[in-house]
Amino acid sequence: MAKVHNFSAGPCILPQEVFQEAAAAVINFDNLNLSILEISHRSASFVSVMDEARQLVKDLLGVPEGYSVLFLQGGASTGFLMAPYNLLTQNGKAAYVNTGTWAKKAVKEAKRLGNVDVVGSSEDKNYNYIPKGFEVPADADYLHITSNNTIVGTQFKEFPTVNTSLVCDMSSDIFSREVNVADFDVIYAGAQKNLGPAGATVYIVKDEVFNKSGRDIPEMLNYATHASKDSMFNTPPVYSTYVSMLNMRYMMKNGGVAGMQKKAEERAGLLYDEIDNNPLFEGTAAKEDRSNMNATFVLTDESVKDKFDAMWNAAGISGLKGHRSVGGYRASMYNALPIESVQVLVDVMKKLKG
């Protein structure tokens, strides 16, 4: 089978050994002669999976005491609504930084419940930079940011320091770099980038924010409800949680988050160096804000587009087309992408230059 170099923006590439273990469990999980797809989520075998998955999140990210780790359904899109339900008081307001499509969706959901102050935005330049120097109102119930922006290829390199709750959607760069969890009250992330297959969303919630809003919160949107039931208020995303657990085991064996960060920096450095030094290519994100996960770039000479597209397809590269709102190309380089795949892309770019 020919090697495919997977630069898809998500669902993500995962390590081959994780695929193999996950595939075996579909046939026979935990020597039960039952599939992981058919066992009870209340069974001892799956409860141990959920417990290990939550503990691995704590171990990998150094989650301090006083935080709950949850594996829930609904993706980050549900997380957009959970944040204001749980943190935005009836007569209060929330502060948001608008850095692209997903941040804009988070703003829209928060506005359903109350006042929202967009304290920083990069919409004026098609979101190609991270806003800086913005001020958060002293009376804001929380500040919401999106750490990495997959579509436009920007990333917060430093997180803002605030005197209120900091909430972060880390869907596309969680586990790719070290973070100080204690700086955040809520971190949430869809699994389908660096963690596992689509279906699960991980939440890291400071217990002090439970019921902070004083609202009558629907049970499925209440952090406290899920924490009190160890992520099993309803049937959890069993298979996605299991594969995420396997992938976190893999990360632990391969240098942890520090190891993942080192590889991310190497991959990004290799590709951005070629983008900057090859006159046929130009990056679309501000250099100081470039994402280590999603490199976005365009051709400077559209007459070679067909040739370039044919070349990278012939090289076994998949998922390189840019998002329709940006155009050009997007190379998503999540944790499991080997640097050899980036080198294949760089070699194609060099060959195009001639």
CATH number at residue 312: 3.90.1150.10
Inside any domain, residue 348: yes
- Please give the single-letter amino acid code of residue 72: L
Where does a domain end: 253, 275, 295? 253
164 and 298 housed in the same domain? no
* Whether residue 222 sits in one domain with residue 297: no
Please indicate, yes or no, whether residues 242 and 333 belong to a single structural domain of this protein: no
Does residue 11 lie within any of the structural domains? Answer: no
Residues 323, 273 share a domain: yes
One domain for residues 136 and 231: yes
Last residue of a domain, one of 221, 253, 285: 253
From 102, 141, 173, 289, active-site residue? 102
Query: Domain of 22: which CATH number?
Result: 3.40.640.10
Predicted local distance difference test score (pLDDT) of residue 149: 97
pLDDT tens track for 257-298:
999 999 999 999 999 999 999 999 999 999 999 999 999 999
Do 181 and 46 have their domain in common? yes
Q: Is residue 1 part of a domain?
A: no
Position 222 pLDDT exceeds 80: yes
Mean pLDDT of 321-342: 95
Interatomic CA distance for residues 284 and 287, integer angstroms: 9
Structure confidence at residue 12 (pLDDT): 83
Structural domain ending residue among the three candidates 253, 271, 286: 253
Token pair 């006159």 is found at: 279
In SS3 terms, 79-123 reads as HHHHHHHHHCCCCCEEEEEECCHHHHHHHHHHHCCCEEEEEEECH
Mean pLDDT computed over 148-175: 97
312 is catalytic: no
184 within domain boundaries:
yes
Q: Look up residue 124 and give its DSSP letter.
A: G
Query: Is 206 annotated in the active site?
Result: no
Structure confidence by residue, pLDDT tens digits, 166-178: 999 999 999 999 9
Q: Please tell me whether residues 285 and 224 are part of one structural domain.
A: no
Q: Which residue out of 173, 185, 193, 289 is catalytically annotated? A: 193
Same domain membership, residue 223 and residue 86: yes
Residue 1 has pLDDT above 60, yes or no: no
Confidence tier at 326 by pLDDT (50, 70, 90): confident
* Whole-number pLDDT of residue 354: 78
Structural tokens at position 10 = 């998500």
Residue 10 lies in a domain: no
Strand 294-299 relative to strand 281-283: parallel, antiparallel, unpaired?
A: antiparallel
**What is the tally of structural domains in the chain?**
2
Which are the contacts of 55, defined by CB distance < 8 A and separation ≥ 6? Answer: none
Q: ∠ at Cα 303 (299, 309), nearest 5°?
A: 65
- The range of the structural domain enclosing residue 345 comes to 257-353
Q: What is the tens place of the pLDDT at every residue in 175-209?
A: 999 999 999 999 999 999 999 999 999 999 999 99
Give yes or no for a contact between 181 and 162, defined as CB atoms under 8 angstroms apart.
no
Spatial neighbors of 16 by CB under 8 A, at least 6 apart, are: none
Q: Are residues 144 and 289 in the same domain?
A: no
The amino acid sitting at 309 is D
Give the per-residue pLDDT at 10: 85
What pTM was computed for the model? Answer: 0.97
pLDDT given at position 2: 65
Q: How many Å apart are CA 250 and CA 18, to the nearest integer?
A: 7
Residue 169 is among the residues annotated as catalytic for this protein: yes
Judgement on whether residues 233 and 282 belong to the same structural domain of the protein: no
Catalytic one of 141, 169, 185, 289: 169
What mean pLDDT is reported for the chain?
A: 97
Query: Per residue in 96-114, pLDDT tens?
Result: 999 999 999 999 999 999 9
Whether 195 and 274 map to the same domain: the answer is no
* Same-domain pairing of 79 and 137: yes
